[in-house]
Structure 1
Amino acid sequence: MSDHKPTRREWGARTTPSLQGNEHWWPDQLNLNVLHQKHPDANPFSESFRYGKAFAQLNVDELSADVDALMTDSQDWWPADWGHYGPFFIRMSWHAAGTYRALDGRGGGGTGAQRFAPLNSWPDNGNLDKARRLLWPIKKKYGEKLSWADLLVFAGNRALETMGFKTFGFGFGRADIWAPEDDIYWGPENEWLGDKDERYTGSFEDGSRVLDNPLAAVQMGLIYVNPEGPNGVPDAAKSAMDVRETFARMGMNDRETVALTVGGHTFGKMHGNGPADAVGGAPEEAKLHEMGVGWANKHETGLGEYTITSGLEGAWTPTPTKWDNTYLETIFSHEWQVKKSPAGANQWEPVEVKDGFWVPDAHVEGRKNPPVMNAADMAMIVDPDYLKISKEYRENPDVLADEFARAWYKLLHRDMGPSARYLGPQVPEEVLVWQDPVPKHEGPLVSDEQIATLKQAITDTGLTAKQLIETAWASACTYRQTDHRGGANGARIRLEPQTGWDINVRGGVAEVIDQLDKIKGASNTTISLADMIVLGGSVGVEMAAKSAGHDITVPFTPGRTDATQEMTEVDAHAYLEPRHDAFRNYMQEQSTPIPAEHLMIDRAFMLNLSAPQMAALLGGMRAIGINAGDNNTDGIFTQRPGQLTNDFFVNLIDMGTVWEPVDEDEGRFIGRDRKSGETKWTATRVDLVYGSNSQLRAIAEEYAADGGERHMLHKFISGWVKVMENDRFDLHR
């Protein structure tokens, strides 16, 4: 027995997944971790805890008063600029919410993810660890009644109010996560603020520069754009191109972009009063005794007037803790030139500061400083479209105030989904189109007797189980839990843009919806078409199960309503299109270079499914024959299609079948009889992965075993109901 005592480095090698985990040895291995993120044991609260119920006990007026008092309670360990933390908290809230991206709904402030790596250590989030520590006494006071996710964005909203701005309102309801969101792809770079444009194709010169999907920031470690200009080069015109694309990726149009830039930069300052190399490591690399506080600054006191964050130094306006129109007055009243900050960063300063525009120093009484702009600010007057809007806002401050209030509200709430998820007394009555509104249900809900009658009417149409299931799935599978958008509620499958989606056209859902709508019209009930589509799917599942010898009832809860085209933001809904759907063995040509099995995991995560539910749904739908397109038989491993059986798993892992790829890309495969060589089945990557991946095979073997069909059926039903009810926020608050 060795008496060698492991060194700290050796011990770390034994426990650190990045050094000896499976991902190290098999980097291309399918990673199912994202499907296990919500393990109940990761939550410090009991299994019965519901944030909505806990929040209902919180006094929002008292909370507002506490946050207001904190704003001007300057702490010696981190002094407030001009004695007011308002601008600091605005930046914290903006950066918490601003990671949202419309293409996949990831990011945003809805989970409190800014507390964890990598966000807590991004260069663009420099010193925001101090903002969160300043809020700790408030979080401590309210405990489980107030999530960090809500507090991080509420503090910035309240900060605006304390400095004279009237916000549009605020919705609580963001529940915390307890571990980093490891599934989010933030970019290909291996260093912060890399300067090689690895995430872009094309060029500035011909206007072809395009950011890779689904990214929404210009560089690793930034929320939006580089404040010095693209790759640190002070070019305002090129910065405007970056600003436009990144803000669009986050769901903002030109007016909202200008409003946010002007309104947000009305407050506070940038920090770079000292050498950049005086700043230490980020929180995730802080030493134990530093207790998670990063970016230690060795320049002078490292605090107050010597703070270094972005490296740029100075305030935008002469009144940095007051809502007014001085940002636009400042930028339009001066001629600007590029200068170096004390930290060596590129920034814009006036050639000559005019009277009334000198900025009082944030910490040194009597000192005056010139106003300062960054590249994104200069873009507001260099880009012709931004310039036009900026001039309008200068001439019409009330228009700016209204549009900034709305854009700020959208920024903070975009990832929360429909307003039905919002909590608290400050939720505005006006519902906006980007919130995917649906009408309130009018009249009594359909009774059990009426549901039974409607189910029989659906059965009598002659529609097959395949048709009914595929239509209900097509309606509901648009949901994504990242930003709570999509789903069956609203029956938007009958509206643009969904009616024209390739997979819906291939699936023939319009015919099914037409017949269900006729039944609805003749029923003399208050049931919606959205409910009819889901109910039709329930009937289809029950039909397929019955034909396999299983007498089941699929749980169905009415209460959905039907949205109108006017309630549907067409451009935003285009992001919800299923360009790949493993459950229907569908992949649009050239939609992505990512292997289909990895996209399957992502789709299952979006639908909030567990790995066993994902497997049961895919295998069951294959057995029923639900593939996109009439002639697509890939993965239909059964001699009795249309029945809800475990045949997919039984035949997939049968050792009498030998598989081989049919093309160099290994996207499709042929399964031949081991003895005769005759073709038995064809399959795609998402079919065979249930036999090749060890974790998925473990599930497949249980479903394929004698007696395993009942386990598969149980997970199929629970997964099906979850998909159908993901957007029923009234059922699982």
Structure 2
Amino acid sequence: MDGNNVNATGGCPVMHGSNTTVERPVTSWWPKSLNLDILHQHGARTNPMDVDYNHRDAVKALDYEAVKADVQALMTDSQDWWPADWGHYGGLFIRLAWHAAGSYRLGDGRGGAGTGNLRFAPLNSWPDNASLDKARRLLWPIKKKHGNALSWADLIVLSGTIAYDSMGLNTFGFGFGREDIWGPEIDINWGNDSVLLAPTDERVTNIEDANSMYNPLAASHMGLIYVNPEGVNGNPNPASTAKYVRMTFLRMAMNDEETAALTVGGHTVGKCHGMEANIGPAPEEASMSEAGFGWNNPNFNGKANTAHTSGLEGAWTTNPTQWDNGYLDLLFGYEWELKKSRAGAWQWEPVNIAEEHKVPDASDPSIKHNPIMTDADMAMKVDPIYREICERFHKDPTYLADTFSRAWFKLTHRDMGPKVNYYGPDVPPEDLIWQDPVPAGNADYDAAAVKDKIANSGLTAIEMVNTAWDSARTFRSSDKRGGANGARIRLSPQKNWEGNEPIRLEKVLGILAPIALDAGASLADVIVLAGNVGLEQAIKAGGHIVEVPFEKGRGDATEEQTDGDSFSDLEPLADGFRNWQKEIYAVRPEELMLDRAQLLGLTAAEMVVLVGGMRVLGANYGESKHGVFTDREGTLSTDFFVNLTSMAYSWHPVDNDGFYELCDRKTGAVKWTATSADLVFGSNSILRAYVEVYAQDDNAEKFVRDFVAAWTKVMIADRYDLVA
């Protein structure tokens, strides 16, 4: 009986590790298993809001001025439990907003401030984010007061923007509209470093070449937002650090001028904290008695000058609570030498500084300290390109203020997508190229007449389907870029991408463009409408009559409205939906397909239904026959699912590159060929469960309806105007 007695020695009524820990997820037991969790990480089960809650509607009703006034008042409302430096929280909230936004990277559009992800692991416990837990707690009364309409994501960025306003900078603007997530973003690859703050060597192939860092990573270490403030791998060398600063900001779509402005403007206010102390663990591993806080400082006595974050200690300017030109005055006005902070961190301090240029103590203004610079700050003086830019800033403070305010706006709004997603009285009227502007489209035309012209154009169904898909598949839910709106598939660089089959693309666009012109419709609309025409033809061939929904009103972007350099990062190097990848990668094809599905905002069921349908339509790149498990190609049928689950065929690997043959069990004859991106739907237990639904005899019509719904979701993924 003792074996079942929970009160016996060592007994416990809970099976450890089954529900409360993640030490043993399925993929740790079976590493080859495809983890589909990223497709459902922000599903309805994790969201505490009512089913009919619409955040856009809520934001429109928010009392913007009251929120701004509350944040403004907080700036100088110093709290005993976490006192403000010099009585002003500006530097803290700027760092909060900066570090929320600074995790964004252009490579896959992930990270950034748009979701409030700084509340969750790993970001909430990164060493670089030390003490930002206090900043969020200071903001809590404002979040509590204004409720659902004020997201944490908006409040975090707003706090940094208001901080600059309160210290004398005329900021460029602010847009409300970010919507919170409710758990960690498990789809983001932050790197495979062995430990936090592991040497940069672990994420570059050549330490001397910052550009050799593995994409899409941007920060020089796991746990940092940008670069090590003490130098590459903690070794001060401003020239070397400059290379990593340039690479990091470039991977955030910032040019040298924006990078220099952000460095100068970011360090014009606030300070570093380096109290020598035995700092406790980060929030994710702190004891319950810490009430959600981390980095317990046993020597903290309620004084601002005893706080500890980076280990560096000091302010960059003589007046750290006001926007001025003091950073550049000091940087260029003195020679600088390496020193150690009281916590033992490398920092640069001025040689023979005048007493009037020293910095008042954060708690006791009668005490003065040397200002400091990090290795990245010194890079602004040592690197010839950055120095030239900073010298122009120094001579023209108005130019610096304008450049910085625009760069700050870009930094904190980059992942919000088009301006239609911005709300509030401070949204700048100017259209900025990084917002991927698209002119308003015309909806006053006869879509039915256009469909007739398309149907009689001589284009095949699959030419139309593939062109529409290629146009829409660039959409990234991570930063709301790409998609069919704008018809940028007809512009450089997209028209030349290998995955878009340029020869076929040129042919199709050459036929569709005159139809669009004659009808007064955008080419963006006509490309999508043509895809629908091709799909409806395939549906009819299967014995069903279903009209594919269509929304008019897309516009056509121009070359001048297209940031070609940043759009290069949207180029697909693989597309499992069309059974294609540019070359063999270390990542398996099915994992690349999963990544694409997640960026498109698809669920696992939607991914399954789209892949199965695209295969039987014959939508493969280059007319490949891999995975086309049907004898009636071009018909939207359930044949992919039926034949994948049929025991009439056995599967045989052809080589080590993920290619297979499906052979008749009786004769041994090869019936079909496949890739791992096909067979995973029959081998993975979760995917097979979805596949079996569509393989059933009673679900042929359901499959057509579900395919049309998933297809339409992709086609309108970037149509924020439809729900605005």
Letter of the 1:536 partner, please give it. A
CA contact (8 A) 2:210 2:243 kept: no
Letter of the 1:22 partner, please give it. V
Partner of 2:47: 43
Gap change, CA 1:471 and 1:209, over 3 Å in 2: closer
1:259-658 residue pairs with structure 2 within 5 A? 259-275=261-277, 278-301=278-301, 303-441=303-441, 445-446=444-445, 450-505=446-501, 508-523=504-519, 526-590=520-584, 592-630=585-623, 632-658=624-650
CA contact (8 A) 1:470 1:507 kept: no
Deviation at 1:330, TM superposition (A): 0.5
Deviation at 1:28, TM superposition (A): 2.8
Partner of 1:728: 719
Deviation at 1:445, TM superposition (A): 2.8
Deviation at 1:355, TM superposition (A): 4.3
Partner of 1:103: 107
Deviations 1:111-151 (A, max 9, x none): 00000111000000000000000000100110011000100
Give SS of 1:197's match: helix
Gap change, CA 1:60 and 1:310, over 3 Å in 2: same
Partner of 2:242: 240
CA contact (8 A) 1:417 1:435 kept: yes
Deviation at 1:352, TM superposition (A): 1.4
Give SS of 1:681's match: strand
Letter of the 1:576 partner, please give it. L
Q: Identify which range, 283-292 or 484-493, moves more after superposition.
A: 283-292
Gap change, CA 1:250 and 1:9, over 3 Å in 2: farther
Gap change, CA 1:39 and 1:209, over 3 Å in 2: closer
Deviations 1:432-487 (A, max 9, x none): 00100011235x533xxx21111111111121110110010010010010000000
Deviations 1:600-658 (A, max 9, x none): 1111111111111111111111101011113x111111111010001111111211211
Letter of the 2:593 partner, please give it. M
Deviations 1:474-511 (A, max 9, x none): 10010010000000000001000011000212571221
CA contact (8 A) 2:414 2:479 kept: yes
Partner of 1:171: 175
Gap change, CA 1:714 and 1:157, over 3 Å in 2: same
Partner of 2:697: 706
Give SS of 1:543's match: helix
Deviation at 1:356, TM superposition (A): 2.9
Deviation at 1:106, TM superposition (A): 0.2
Give SS of 2:583's match: coil
Deviation at 1:190, TM superposition (A): 2.9
Question: Distance between the aligned counterparts of 1:148 and 1:12, measured in 2?
Answer: 33
Give SS of 1:508's match: helix
Question: Distance between the aligned counterparts of 1:113 and 1:11, measured in 2?
Answer: 30
Question: Distance between the aligned counterparts of 2:629 and 2:721, measured in 1?
Answer: 39
1:210-221 residue pairs with structure 2 within 5 A? 210-221=212-223
Gap change, CA 1:234 and 1:64, over 3 Å in 2: same
Gap change, CA 1:354 and 1:312, over 3 Å in 2: same
Deviation at 1:265, TM superposition (A): 0.2
Give SS of 1:339's match: strand
Q: Identify which range, 259-268 or 47-56, moves more after superposition.
A: 47-56
Question: Distance between the aligned counterparts of 1:313 and 1:522, measured in 2?
Answer: 67
Question: Distance between the aligned counterparts of 1:303 and 1:223, measured in 2?
Answer: 27
Question: Distance between the aligned counterparts of 2:13 and 2:348, measured in 1?
Answer: 46
Deviation at 1:300, TM superposition (A): 4.8
Gap change, CA 1:121 and 1:303, over 3 Å in 2: farther
Give SS of 2:501's match: helix
Deviation at 1:273, TM superposition (A): 2.1
Deviation at 1:196, TM superposition (A): 5.6
CA contact (8 A) 1:18 1:24 kept: no
Partner of 2:73: 69
Give SS of 1:672's match: strand
Deviations 1:295-342 (A, max 9, x none): 110125264211110000000000100001010001111111111111
Report the TM-score when normalising by structure 1.
0.96
Deviation at 1:38, TM superposition (A): 2.9
Question: Distance between the aligned counterparts of 1:10 and 1:47, measured in 2?
Answer: 32
Partner of 1:139: 143
Give SS of 2:536's match: helix
CA contact (8 A) 1:279 1:296 kept: yes
Question: Distance between the aligned counterparts of 2:11 and 2:412, measured in 1?
Answer: 46
CA contact (8 A) 1:507 1:628 kept: no
Letter of the 2:685 partner, please give it. S
Q: Identify which range, 492-501 or 36-45, moves more after superposition.
A: 36-45
Letter of the 2:673 partner, please give it. T
CA contact (8 A) 2:200 2:207 kept: no
CA contact (8 A) 2:6 2:13 kept: no
Question: Distance between the aligned counterparts of 1:706 and 1:405, measured in 2?
Answer: 61
Deviation at 1:7, TM superposition (A): 6.3
Partner of 1:93: 97
Gap change, CA 1:187 and 1:567, over 3 Å in 2: same
Structure 2 portions without partners, runs of 5+:
none
Gap change, CA 1:283 and 1:203, over 3 Å in 2: closer
Question: Distance between the aligned counterparts of 2:200 and 2:524, measured in 1?
Answer: 48
CA contact (8 A) 1:197 1:219 kept: no
Question: Distance between the aligned counterparts of 1:538 and 1:303, measured in 2?
Answer: 65
CA contact (8 A) 1:650 1:704 kept: yes
Deviations 1:491-536 (A, max 9, x none): 001000011000212571221111111112223xx32110000110
Question: Distance between the aligned counterparts of 2:17 and 2:621, measured in 1?
Answer: 46
Question: Distance between the aligned counterparts of 2:254 and 2:360, measured in 1?
Answer: 33
Partner of 1:227: 229
Gap change, CA 1:399 and 1:678, over 3 Å in 2: same
Q: Identify which range, 607-616 or 104-113, moves more after superposition.
A: 607-616
Calculate the aligned-residue CA RMSD, in Å: 1.4
Question: Distance between the aligned counterparts of 1:662 and 1:52, measured in 2?
Answer: 51
Deviations 1:254-311 (A, max 9, x none): 1000000000100000000223xx1101111121121101111012526421111000
Deviation at 1:208, TM superposition (A): 6.7
CA contact (8 A) 2:441 2:554 kept: yes
Question: Distance between the aligned counterparts of 2:211 and 2:410, measured in 1?
Answer: 27
Give SS of 1:478's match: coil
Q: Report the identity percentage.
A: 53
Question: Distance between the aligned counterparts of 2:11 and 2:322, measured in 1?
Answer: 55
Deviation at 1:18, TM superposition (A): 2.0
Letter of the 1:465 partner, please give it. A
Letter of the 1:312 partner, please give it. L
